[in-house]
Amino acid sequence: MKSTKTLFFLAFLSLFIPSSFVLAIEEFNPNFIISDSELQNYSSMNRADIQAFLSVNGQFLSTYKSPDKDGVVRTASDIIYRSAQDNEINPKYLLIKLQKEQSLITTTNPTQKQLDWATGYGICDNCSMNDPALQKYKGFGTQVDSAAGIMRWYYDNQGSQSWIKQASVSYNIDGQTVVPASSATAFLYTYTPHILGNQNFWTLWNKWFEQRYPDGTLLQDAETNVVYLLQNGLKRSISSMTVLISRFDPKFIITAPATELSRYNDGQPLSLPNYSVVKNGINYYLLDYDYKRPFANYETVKQLGYHPDEIINVTEIDLEGYKIGETITSSQENPLGRLIKIKEIDKYYFYKNGVYKPLTDPQMVKTNFSEFSPEIVNLADLGELVLGDAILFKDGTLFGIIGSNKIFVVEKGQKRHIVDEDVFNGLGFNWKNIIWTDEFTGMAHKTGEAIYLRGEVEKTVPTTQVVAQEPITKATPPPTNIEDLMEKTPISETTFIGETFETPIEAYVVEEYDSEKILAGKNINVVRPLASFTKVMTAYRLLQEGLPLSSIGTVTYNAGKHKSVAHYFRVAEGEKFRTNDIMKTMLVSSLNTPSRMLVDKVEIYEPAFIARMNQQATEWELPNTKFTDTYGYDLGNRSTALEYTKIFKKVVANSSLQEIMGLSSYEYDELIDKDGKPHHYDYNTNELLLENDLPYKIISSKTGFLYESGANLAMLIERKSDGKKFVIITMGNPDYQNRFVEPDALSKWVISNF
């Protein structure tokens, strides 16, 4: 089943491309439609990326739910993601099949027939969809999985059946000789034996997945050194450094090859500095970024203190591209607005047109308002505050959320996920320009489509080579609505023991650590998915079986043996690590591949190791606990909150593991580096460990998350006032975006009441 994947599949999602944006795409070559690495790059999109694509580019499928191949009702994005993962086929291929066969991406009101035969699987030119023999292929979930599954089957059986088309073999298709240059191209003709149908596939691929930099990007031509602003799909040349620094920070300029810039049509040049006062005929304007704000009259210009020598005479052509803004009157003392800091609450606001807009992150003072000097004011002097929406980062800003693992770029107020390190570097972004912000600020930016690169694009030239940190390479896909996917206990079957703590979390246990007394609990005996809680048992068994955590223990990465499902670990073939460092990566960062790397050190046959994990559960008298992998991705890893309390306590009794699971962060260097990026560091996936004002100390913890499990969190905490310790297990938190709020509230309730 396994086949070589490439991390360098480079694509970019863009369905609705402005008419002014013309792609420089080569002509269709029927002999080469797609490469094998592209077709098999099943990690190219995570669930959130697929959901964002459906939300931006379509209507119906973004909210559509259907039974999957096993009859479990799931969202369309989840069905697509799971089918891609199970069959190791690029989810982008499935998105194109849905559009090519039944126009399901863009259709707002599809018929049931379109949904039932979503990918055209099992249907031939002369087949009837009412044929009883074809009904087993009917249904959205079955169609999607079958479309991915048949491609995987072709790869696994390409030499066994004569009707499966082969690469480098000549075929007559629609009266034309075609010699497929890749197996992927041959399989597309096997699936759809027509040139026109596959040309439509190729056209959609280029339309949707062609690279395009986001609006707000500053690109400098590597040959001419001219700097352009990308805006609305056009490149706008910037006439001088004076104009540039009046609107932008030069450190964000990306050097790009001329071939890349040629892909954009020219827009109106930027030739006037921001905040210039200009005159066109009898009209006076203040240039406020993309707006020309008219002065009520020339008297207003004088009253506001603008000197005649500052006024620039312009033509209509100079003002093309500027939209008409609000009129400036003499009653406006600060037509540009004011940046203020309220002394009593130590918060920044931008005041304009009678409205105060909060800056939720003080870093916005520099990124958004570098031309303003903050005014420190007293709250009492401001009168009644009319609050507006929070300020968002400017377009083109790079940011990450503290304690999370994704890097975003802002475009039109939305945050767009840069899917991995190769894309980040390939686009020429600079690691030094990443702003780390809080979760509230990050979530204020709506989620847009993820950003990819074309595989064949000439890479840009990064201005500085900086070693990447760990978070850019791993992913925790925040879903849009976990409650629809998460396993839930009916309200009528919900049970409590001890004092009741009201919470939407499905199950919790509170145990006094020393006495082992259960103080409170909810649904403590309900069996639930463990997700990455599984890694705790893996770690315990590894030490029991002699894995060395000293400096002498090492492990070398072998992709064929170690690469896991949901592989987000930044690692290259042949790189060597200390086992102690990989243990941190597994338990602190909660990455999957490190689990397999460590297990391979003590057991070459992984199922045998999993069997010993289950034997350990039996010895500990945990009848409802079962393990089916070593890292928690499989839904077969299950336990109850009560039984997991016992597992967690057994494991944290080991001082080495307790210490590792109590780290708020870590960093280390590889022993053998193969990709020029030897340094790794990351923060604990339990963001509460980053807080410094909690009334309790977190001694050890472990997180876990799957859509079906919800967010899980296990903690050993200590009350600061008297040193009393408690074990707190929470399973099935439906609020992923705020997944630490309820466990924190429960912990505070515990230390206040017991």
SS (H, E, C) 108-170: CCCCHHHHHCCCCCCCCCCCCCCCHHHHHHCCHHHHHHHHHHHHHHHHHHCCCCCCCCCCCCC
- The closest alpha carbon to 218, from 252, 265, 245, belongs to 252
pLDDT, greater one: 6 or 392 = 392
The rounded distance, in Å, linking the Cα atoms of 195 and 177 is 10
Average pLDDT, the chain: 85
pLDDT digits (tens, 9 = 90+) for 586-606: 999 999 999 999 999 998 888
pLDDT band at 125 (very low <50, low <70, confident <90, very high): low
Token pair in block for residue 353:
């047109």
DSSP string spanning 627-670?
A: -SSSSS-STT-EE-HHHHHHHHHHHHTSHHHHHHTT-SEEEEE-
Lowest mean pLDDT segment, chosen from 26-35, 247-256, 271-280, 710-719: 26-35
Mean pLDDT, range 459-475, rounded to an integer = 33
77: annotated active-site residue: no
Residue 3 has pLDDT above 50, yes or no: no
| DSSP per-residue string spanning 446-480 | EE---B---TTSPPPB-SS--PPPGGGG------S
pLDDT at 468: 29
Q: How many CA atoms lie within 13 A of 97 on its CB side?
A: 27
In 3D space, the residue among 238, 232, 235, 231 whose CA is nearest the CA of residue 258 turns out to be: 235
* Among candidate residues 337, 281, 285, 276, the one with its CA nearest the CA of residue 310: 276
Q: Which residue has the higher pLDDT, 623 or 207?
A: 623
Assess whether pLDDT exceeds 90 at residue 672.
yes
Q: Rounded mean pLDDT of 74-101?
A: 91
What span, in angstroms and rounded, lies between the C-alpha atoms of 740 and 711? Answer: 9
24 pLDDT higher than 50: no
Q: Is 88 exposed, middle or buried (0-12, 13-18, 19+ CB in 10 A)?
A: buried
> In this structure, are residues 218 and 236 in contact, taking their beta carbons and an 8 Å threshold?
no
Which residue of the set 5, 292, 474, 535 is catalytic? 535
Q: Are strands 375-377 and 338-342 parallel, antiparallel or unpaired?
A: parallel
Mean pLDDT of the region 647-660:
96
Structure tokens at 728: 């707190």
Among residues 62, 183, 532, 700, the one annotated as catalytic is 532
Domains and their CATH numbers in the chain:
36-209 (no CATH), 277-324 (no CATH), 338-381 (no CATH), 491-753 (3.40.710.10)
Residues 516 and 686 sit within 8 Å (Cβ to Cβ): no
The average pLDDT across 523-547 equals 96
Residue 691: HSE in the Cβ half-sphere, 13 Å Cα cutoff: 13
Q: Are strands 576-578 and 554-556 parallel, antiparallel or unpaired?
A: antiparallel
Say if pTM beats, i.e. exceeds, 0.85.
Answer: no
Count Cβ atoms below 10 Å from residue 543 Cβ, excluding itself: 16
Q: What residues are paired with 238 via a beta bridge?
A: 270
Dihedral sign of CA atoms 732, 734, 738, 742 in order:
negative
pLDDT at 7 over 60: no
The pLDDT value recorded for residue 467 is 29
Residues 6+ apart with CB under 8 A from 204: 96, 99, 100
Res 589: pLDDT: 93
Locate the DSSP E strands across 481-552: 496-498, 507-512, 518-522, 528-529
Reference 645, options 620, 680, 669; nearest CA is 620
Contacts 24+ apart (CB under 8 A), 717-722: 717/747, 717/750, 717/751, 719/695, 719/751, 720/695, 720/696, 721/751
Q: How confident is the model at residue 123 (pLDDT cuts 50, 70, 90)?
A: confident
Give the pair of three-digit tokens for residue 383.
């009168």
Tell me whether residue 19 is one of the annotated catalytic residues.
no
* Number of other residues whose CB lies within 10 A of the CB of residue 380: 8
Q: Which residues have CB under 8 Å from 560's CB, separation 6+?
A: 2
- Between CA 339 and CA 391 the distance in angstroms is 12
The CA distances from residue 306 to 310, 318, 659, in Å, are 7, 21, 64
**What confidence tier does 180 reach under pLDDT thresholds 50, 70, 90?**
very high
Tens digit of each residue's pLDDT (9 = 90 or more) over 286-316? 999 999 999 999 999 888 888 888 899 999 9
**Cα–Cα distance for residue pair 421/7, rounded to 1 Å:** 9
Can you tell me the mean pLDDT for 459-485? 39
Specify the 3-state DSSP secondary structure of 278: strand
What letters, b where the CB count within 10 A reaches 16 and e where it falls short, cover 16-28? eeeeebeeeeeee
Q: Tell me, what DSSP letter sits at residue 387?
A: B
| pLDDT for res 697 | 96
CA-only gyration radius of the chain, Å: 29
The CA distance from 185 to 205, in Å, is: 13
718 pLDDT above the threshold of 60 = yes
Q: What amino acid is encoded at 596 in this protein?
A: R
671-690 as b/e: b if 16+ CB within 10 A: eeeeeebeebebbbbbbbbe
Q: Is the pLDDT of residue 331 over 90?
A: no
Q: Could you tell me if 711 and 705 are in contact, meaning their C-beta atoms sit under 8 angstroms apart?
A: yes
65 backbone dihedrals φ, ψ, rounded to 5°: -125, 145
254: which strand partners? 219
Whether residue 535 lies in the annotated active site:
yes
How would you write 220-265 as a 3-class SS string? EECCCCCEEEEECCEEEEECCHHHHHCCCCHHHEEEECHHHHCCCE
Q: If you average pLDDT over residues 690-719, what whole number do you get?
A: 93
Q: Is the pLDDT higher at 186 or at 12?
A: 186
Higher pLDDT among residues 300 and 482, named by residue: 300
> What is the per-residue pLDDT for 469?
32
The tokens describing 415, both together, are 């945050």
- SS (HEC) of 499-514: CCCCCCCCEEEEEECC
702 is in an annotated binding site: yes
Please give the pLDDT value at position 131.
Answer: 77
Query: What pLDDT band is residue 120 in, cutting at 50, 70 and 90?
Result: confident
Residue 298 contacts residue 277 (beta carbons within 8 Å): no
Residue 162 pLDDT > 90, yes or no?
A: no
Determine the Cα–Cα distance for residues 617 and 605; give it in Å rounded to an integer. Answer: 20
Stretch (H or E) spanning 26:
none
Count Cβ atoms below 10 Å from residue 658 Cβ, excluding itself. 14
Residue 232: the pLDDT is: 85
Among positive and negative, which fits the CA dihedral 484, 489, 495, 498?
Answer: negative
